[in-house]
Amino acid sequence: MRIIITCGDPNGIGLELLLRAVNDAQLAFDSAELTLCAPPALVRAYADVLVHAGCIEPVHVGENEVRLGGSTLPLLPIEGSADELQLGTPTRQSGTIAIAALECAARAVVSGECDAVVTLPVSKHALHAAGFPFPGQTEFFGSVAGADPLMILACSELRVALVTIHEPLARVAELITLEREIETIERFHHALRVDFAIDTPTIAVLGLNPHAGEHRLLGYEEDAVIAPAIEHLQERGIRVEGPFPADSFFARGHWQRYSGVVAQYHDQGLIPLKMIARGRGVNVTAGLPFVRTSPDHGTAYDIAGQCRADYQSLLEAIRMAQYLAANRKRSSMHVSPTPAR
């Protein structure tokens, strides 16, 4: 499996996590061909910080490879100098490098050179300072593929899809339309079947308002939009239920009965997912012609270069990319996937 990894914002923890994982022999180089998109000089400078801190062995960084801990990580070089490393600070320069890494990875997956891309964390502030025209990396890859991306957060216990992604809370209600609700559930159902290899997925849909609207006393979207969308899809044979009040749905463990959960907005779905995942969550962008995953955390500027960050989510993102890409290949060969919950 050929996986390309972007460096993310070089002033955050992304490169640190990758280098430490390689150093600790935690990456399965035998089952995946990993390649890093990053500026060689900047990787070398970051590695020097980590060596000085005593958390990795001495590193050799050439123009096309990183050798560390007995492993060799191929490198696709992009522009960037050691002087641009300012750990702990989002800058226009760090945003420019993060964008270049995204474009590097996009070229690799679109051309078929790689099967999947894993993106390390970025700063939206730095990206926008550098002229990035998208709300986030998810929307960037959607534009690259000419597709409307579906954001899914996943761990071994739970998968959550979002009807709205990076939208201000004040705009969410107006974006909850019948068409958008139906399309999100349909695409989530497809992703669960093809990407996650679940033969007959069961999907729960959360309401938008407290108590799922309480019969329009606390909001009308459940009765006017969400419930009709669910009924329409049930008539088409999709196993979907709801809308459920979000608080009791998670508090009482009802989520455990479903293959996936559709949340109406970002924090509604991601807070419980991240609490359940305990650092093992993965951001999956479905609806693309290639696989894209990412750790479920941010740049953590406050601890960058201090060897304190946990690289478990990065490992899970790489494993998830392998798993999804393998499932897609099996699906394209018309081989029945292994049934799951």
Is 60 exceeded by the pLDDT of residue 30?
Answer: no
Q: What is the pLDDT of residues 270-295, one digit of tens each?
A: 999 999 999 899 999 999 999 999 99
Structure confidence at residue 338 (pLDDT): 43
Identity (one letter) of the amino acid at 207? G
Is 70 exceeded by the pLDDT of residue 337?
Answer: no
Q: Where are the alpha helices (DSSP H) in the chain?
A: 14-23, 40-53, 92-110, 124-129, 137-145, 169-175, 178-194, 221, 227-235, 246-251, 266-277, 312-332
Q: Where are the domains of the chain?
A: 1-149+288-341, 150-283
Which of 157, 257, 161, 156 has its CA nearest to residue 202?
257
Q: What is the pLDDT of residues 241-261, one digit of tens each?
A: 999 999 999 999 999 999 999
User: What CATH number labels 150-283?
Assistant: 3.40.718.10
Which of 243, 328, 254, 249 has its CA nearest to residue 284?
328
Considering the entire predicted model, what is its pTM? 0.90
Is 90 exceeded by the pLDDT of residue 6?
Answer: yes
Structure confidence at residue 28 (pLDDT): 65
What are the phi and psi torsion angles at 12 (to 5°)?
-100, -155
Is 50 exceeded by the pLDDT of residue 341?
Answer: no
CATH superfamily of 1-149+288-341: Isopropylmalate Dehydrogenase (3.40.718.10)
What are the phi and psi torsion angles at 337 (to 5°)?
-70, 160
The answer to whether 1-149+288-341 and 150-283 have equal CATH topology is: yes
Q: What is the pLDDT of residues 98-107, one digit of tens each?
A: 999 999 999 9
Per the structure block, which two tokens stand in for 89? 């600070």
Helices and strands, number each (H, E), in the chain: 12, 13
